[in-house]
Structure 1
Amino acid sequence: MAPATQYELSPPPGDAVSSISFAPTSGTKLLVSSWDKKVYCYDIAGGAGETNLINTYEHQAPVLDVCFGADDNEAFTAGMDWAVNKWASCIYTRPQVHGTNEIAQDRFGKRREDSSKQAFCAAILVSASWDCSLNLHNLKDPSSAPIRVALPGKPHALASSPTKVVVAMTGRVINIYDLDTIAELFVSGSTDLKPWQQRESSLRYLTRAVACMPNDAGYATSSIEGRVAVEWFEDTAESQARKYAFKCHRQAAADGDGDIVYPVNALAFHPVHGTFASGGGDGTAALWDAEAKRRLKQYQKFPNSVAALAFSSDGKYLAVGVCPGFETGQEDYNGEGQTSVLIRELGDNEAKGKGAK
């Protein structure tokens, strides 16, 4: 079996990576959002040694999240410009030597504070804002005002499955919303959205990331205290008894006195095998089997913190966003020249669980 290929995207973002999203159809096209106020569009079909950048999209402030919409030519961004933006029609048009691209952009109204996370679910865009609100955008009627739902805490992570939206907030609060119930709001005109479930996080400290299982069975969360928790949606005693949490992304202290604990910044489930990847402030990424409760693979240490992860839609590639974090206690942050996005072409069985056939 040939060794797995790993290479850096060229050119890299100009500052820290905030989010990575692969296209829903193409297995080689992806978007990367950055604190340098840009979103980078790459195509990795050419492999290593190629210039992978197709286009960049300027914003007025740092971009905190990016996700694709209904197809490969529709994308949404959220950030510190207090708005959610839709980019369409020319996502994958290479820049011309002469002239400029015409790129359709829509703004979904301003929030009172920064929009930090978002998720596309069928014809609904869900965005979470630091003003403790969840904003529901009806993409079938873009001219309609979004429905604003108050949250019990400041949102820090958001993810969606085929039927659910999971929002992790301060105070260890996790709200799970039903997508069918959200869709009904646009018909009834009501703004009264109750969570399908509200849970207390299994993790004792601030949630850093959340990701949903591709089979719609549950989700994983991670914290700033080097832990990951795995839970199932089904609200039965048997199902809830299956949930568990484990320590990860820790290093033994040089003096032998305990461990150095790093935040787990990123989580991503494999779309085919249902295993998941985690990335941490220790500069490592690992693959885990959620069912077997074991680590499948630990990748080599990267030069900086792992800030974002994403699998391609066909599961053949893992994208890893690497940039300086605040783990060393530095006061002045600068990711310029220290940021990279690496692409790993996975081996045939690299992400397959131990019990999988």
Structure 2
Amino acid sequence: MSGLFSTTAASTAASNTIGDLKQDKELGNPPEDSITALSFNPNPTDPKDFLAVASWDKKVRIYEILSDGSGQPKCQMVCDGPVFSCDFAKSGDKVIAGGADKQGNYIDLTTGQKTQFAQHDMPIKSVRYFEANGVPMAATGSWDKTVKYWDFRAQAPIGQLTVQERVYSMDVRDNLLVIGTADRYISVVNLREPTKLYKTVQSPLKWQTRVVSCFTDSQGFAIGSIEGRCAIQYVEDKDASLNFSFKCHRDPPQNNVTNVYAVNDISFHPQHGTFSTAGSDGTFHFWDKDAKHRLKGYPNVGGSIVATTFNKTGNIFAYATSYDWSKGYQGNSATYPTKVTLHPVLPDECKPRPNPKKR
């Protein structure tokens, strides 16, 4: 089933699968170094959209997205090292972040005050906000091979989990926590029992895990690898027949050589449950996992796409372009673009297609 979603095969499909970037708007005042993460304010009662952007320049910038699709800086948090991850609190009044300084910090958007809440022995690669029994919490995953849980009111972690290897990616949805580590381990945690591993498997993809992302219904997760593949995995063994993987972010073969690119980020649409992949090839695509179908593919944006996210209603798709080090030090240059772009999502772009098998 590995070829079902192949973008090289899909490129011969009807032109209506080619998306349009003409309405996309670039944010002003972008970060000064490579971007690592994006997060939108998820609070459904807040009429405004706010976007947090984490960067190697040691800052998390928060932008207010205006009605015309542009953005303006609202505030920023300055950390002691490059920031590798950020996430909005459910209430929308805090942004948590972690990075090379081995600290977890948050900024209170109402006061602008920065507070440290977490500490690790090595850099923090991923932070995720969640709630346990209505109490705001954070999970921090580190290269020290631990995931720690924090109550913002306490000085010490309220729980800790040791995983097989360095944490590369994490995601949370409801009570599902998925952790992707070095050596292709994927750990699944039920947050009702946060200090126990519900299960650990090795990724079905043969190369290094770049990103894990939970389904909107928390029944499973997607995995992206450095080798231009994505895997769809369900949590429960009874659903294993629904698991599959597919190729993406690859150039058409030429002279028996195929250029493959890292899948840098995967984001699920909050309403439709469809998802995006974005990669080192500078493209993003929208997919329907249930129909096993590519909905839209988009032209190259002029640089590697390193991070993506949908806003709370799913009518804005944000993507960050900057160097992702996929070609090593020599691939970087002072002229490489570093920018955040907002794509207005049209109704048909992310809507699931009718599944002919269910008719």
Q: Shorter-normalised TM-score: what interval? A: 0.7 to 0.9
User: What SS does structure 1 have at the residue aligned with 2:211?
Assistant: strand
Read off the aligned partner of 1:113 and give its amino acid letter.
M
Q: Which of 196, 200, 216 does residue 198 from structure 2 map onto?
A: 196
Q: Which of 14, 18, 22 does residue 32 from structure 2 map onto?
A: 14
Structure-1 residue corresponding to 2:236: 234
Asked if 1:43 corresponds to 2:76, the answer is no
Cα distance in 2 between the residues matched to 1:171 and 1:51: 39
Structure-1 residue corresponding to 2:112: 103
Cα distance in 2 between the residues matched to 1:277 and 1:320: 10
User: What SS does structure 2 have at the residue aligned with 1:198?
Assistant: strand
**Per-residue deviation at 1:172?**
1.8
Would you identify which runs of 4 or more consecutive aligned residues in structure 1 move more than 6 Å?
none
- Give the paired residue count: 329
Structure-2 residue corresponding to 1:136: 149
User: What SS does structure 2 have at the residue aligned with 1:252?
Assistant: coil
Asked if 1:307 corresponds to 2:292, the answer is no
Structure 1's 148 and 11: CA in aligned 2 closer, same or farther, altered over 3 A? same
Structure 2 unmatched runs, 5+: 1-19
Comparing 81-90 with 313-322, which one deviates more in the overlay?
Answer: 81-90
State the TM-score, normalizing by the size of structure 1. Answer: 0.87
Q: Which of 32, 35, 51 does residue 53 from structure 2 map onto?
A: 32
Two-structure CA RMSD over aligned residues (Å) = 2.0
Asked if 1:55 corresponds to 2:68, the answer is no
**Per-residue deviation at 1:287?**
0.3
Read off the aligned partner of 2:65 and give its amino acid letter.
I
User: What SS does structure 1 have at the residue aligned with 2:24?
Assistant: strand
Structure 1's 14 and 337: CA in aligned 2 closer, same or farther, altered over 3 A? farther
Structure-2 residue corresponding to 1:145: 157
Asked if 1:83 corresponds to 2:92, the answer is no
State the TM-score, normalizing by the size of structure 2. Answer: 0.87
Alpha-carbon contact 2:41-2:90 (below 8 Å) kept: no
Structure 1's 86 and 334: CA in aligned 2 closer, same or farther, altered over 3 A? farther
Structure 1 unmatched runs, 5+: 91-101, 183-192
Identity %: 27
User: What SS does structure 2 have at the residue aligned with 1:257?
Assistant: coil
Alpha-carbon contact 1:275-1:290 (below 8 Å) kept: yes
Cα distance in 2 between the residues matched to 1:337 and 1:248: 24
* Structure 2 counterparts to residues 1-357 of structure 1, below 5 A: 5-25=23-43, 26=46, 28-48=49-69, 50=70, 52-90=72-110, 102-122=111-131, 123-139=136-152, 141-182=153-194, 193-236=195-238, 239-252=239-252, 255-331=254-330, 333=332, 338-355=337-354
Read off the aligned partner of 1:17 and give its amino acid letter.
I
Cα distance in 2 between the residues matched to 1:68 and 1:233: 25
Cα distance in 1 between the residues matched to 2:59 and 2:268: 26
Alpha-carbon contact 2:118-2:150 (below 8 Å) kept: no
**Per-residue deviation at 1:144?**
4.1
Structure 1's 148 and 51: CA in aligned 2 closer, same or farther, altered over 3 A? closer
Cα distance in 2 between the residues matched to 1:126 and 1:352: 31
Alpha-carbon contact 1:174-1:198 (below 8 Å) kept: yes
Structure 1's 217 and 80: CA in aligned 2 closer, same or farther, altered over 3 A? same
Cα distance in 1 between the residues matched to 2:156 and 2:71: 40
Alpha-carbon contact 2:75-2:112 (below 8 Å) kept: no
Alpha-carbon contact 1:135-1:148 (below 8 Å) kept: yes
**Per-residue deviation at 1:337?**
6.3
Alpha-carbon contact 1:203-1:229 (below 8 Å) kept: yes
**Per-residue deviation at 1:334?**
5.2
User: What SS does structure 2 have at the residue aligned with 1:160?
Assistant: strand
Cα distance in 1 between the residues matched to 2:33 and 2:41: 22
Cα distance in 1 between the residues matched to 2:325 and 2:210: 14
Cα distance in 2 between the residues matched to 1:213 and 1:153: 24
Deviation string, structure 1 residues 26-61 (Cα, Å, up to 9, x no partner): 46211000111111111112425x552222221111
